[in-house]
């Protein structure tokens, strides 16, 4: 294997490879060391006395050659360590994608929480500024009232002049404070607008699948019940198509996850191209997709499923780097229509059952829950 190829291996796969090589080498060295004609004294100072137990008869003939207990302990230790390393690498390799997705979800959740807290803090600051503005207005109003009462009871020109100067001074003071408050409110408004954009972006990213850019499972959990409620209220039809790429694990195992992700992206583009209006395509998980079709009857959903299936079957696929032919890629489809008073989970279960029937019947077909 070339150095470049080794660099492309995930760390978990490299650990599995190293563990397998270590176990093989341990058994190889053990087998060689157990041969009486083989001498490892030049390497590790091994000898028949220290590493092997020999029995001889009365004539001095060798009747049994066995391993020393310490040598057995070393063999067991090396092999057990190699097996544990291989098992750990295998667990990391197969659990890695789900763990990465979970870490991405946790990161997005932390981002949403941080932006929400900053937005709350900024709103608190705005409320405090508005309270100061109201307190200032009340104080200014009280000063004006007192000055008015003094003017009504004063006849001395000096007294009137002093009151007028006081009013002018108070007005300048209020104007300065109002200008300062307006500037601070404007800064808060800009910060709130920025936080609102960040929150909107975070929310949007939280509703999108990272690989295909379609809506994700979270979007379905939030919006499918709304679509079902709207369909029930307006007495309209609502269908869903559940699609699954056939033999996707075999594609991943044969050509790698990069090719598998590319096929998912192309299939997502095919779904998006064939829907319109309020129709929405989403990645349900793994190689499963769901198309939500408001105002669509079973016949229309079936025609759409057949159209997508046919277009996918006719495509020619090849490795995007090497040009190696991948072969035909197909998908199976299960379709169900929302029934009166039915929950979304039941609708999904019926579509999933029909998808299972399509798989059991040979794949690359559309089965409708009629």
Catalytic residues: 287
The CA–CA distances, whole Å, from 165 to 161, 169, 172 equal 6, 6, 11
Which of 206, 224, 213 is CA-nearest to residue 349?
Answer: 224
Tokens of 282: 């989403």
Count other Cβ atoms within 10 Å, centred on residue 152.
Answer: 7
Tokens of 132: 């100061």
CA torsion, points 149, 153, 156, 161, in degrees to nearest 10?
10
| Angstrom distance (rounded) from CA 280 to CA 293 | 7
User: For tokens 């544990």, what's the residue?
Assistant: 84
| Angstrom distance (rounded) from CA 126 to CA 219 | 33
Taking CB atoms within 8 Å and a gap of at least 24, the contacts of 62-69 are 62/36, 65/34, 65/36, 67/34
The two beta strands, 366-368 and 331-337, are: parallel
Tokens of 275: 């829907």
3-state helix, strand, coil in the chain (%, to 5): 65, 15, 20
What single string gives the DSSP state of each residue in 271-320? HHHH--TT-EEEEEETTEEEEEEET--HHHHHHHHHHHHHHHHH--EE-T
DSSP-derived secondary structure letter, 337: E
């Amino acid at each position: 294997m070339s150095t470049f190829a080794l660099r492309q291996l995930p760390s978990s796969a490299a650990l599995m490879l190293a563990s397998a090589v270590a176990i093989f080498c341990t058994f190889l060295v053990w087998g060689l060391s157990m041969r009486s004609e083989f001498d490892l004294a030049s390497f590790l100072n091994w000898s028949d006395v220290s590493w092997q137990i020999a029995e001889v008869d009365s004539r001095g003939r060798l009747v049994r050659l066995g391993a020393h207990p310490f040598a057995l302990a070393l063999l067991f230790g090396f092999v057990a360590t190699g097996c544990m390393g291989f098992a750990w690498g295998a667990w990391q390799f197969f659990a890695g994608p789900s763990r990465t997705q979970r870490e991405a979800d946790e990161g997005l959740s932390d981002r949403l929480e941080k932006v929400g807290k900053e937005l709350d803090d900024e709103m608190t600051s705005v409320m405090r500024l508005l309270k100061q503005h109201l307190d200032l207005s009340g104080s200014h109003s009280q000063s004006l009232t007192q000055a008015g009462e003094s003017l009504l009871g004063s006849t001395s020109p000096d007294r009137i002049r002093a009151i007028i100067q006081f009013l002018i001074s108070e007005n300048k003071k209020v104007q300065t404070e109002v200008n300062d408050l307006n500037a601070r409110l404007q800064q808060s408004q800009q910060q709130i607008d920025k936080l609102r954009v960040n929150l909107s972006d975070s929310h949007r990213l939280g509703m999108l699948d990272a690989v295909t850019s379609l809506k994700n499972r979270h979007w379905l959990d939030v919006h499918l019940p709304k679509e079902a409620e709207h369909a029930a209220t307006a007495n309209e039809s609502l269908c869903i198509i559940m699609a699954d790429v056939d033999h996707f694990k075999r594609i991943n195992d044969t050509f790698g996850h990069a090719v598998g992700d590319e096929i998912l992206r192309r299939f997502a583009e095919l779904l998006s191209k064939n829907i319109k209006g309020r129709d929405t395509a989403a990645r349900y998980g793994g190689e499963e997709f769901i198309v939500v079709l408001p105002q669509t009857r079973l016949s229309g959903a079936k025609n759409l499923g057949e159209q997508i299936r046919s277009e996918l079957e006719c495509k020619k696929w090849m490795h995007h780097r090497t040009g190696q032919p991948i072969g035909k890629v197909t998908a199976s489809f299960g379709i169900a229509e929302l029934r009166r008073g039915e929950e979304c989970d039941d609708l999904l279960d019926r579509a999933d059952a029909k998808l299972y029937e399509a798989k059991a019947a040979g794949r690359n077909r559309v089965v409708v829950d009629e």
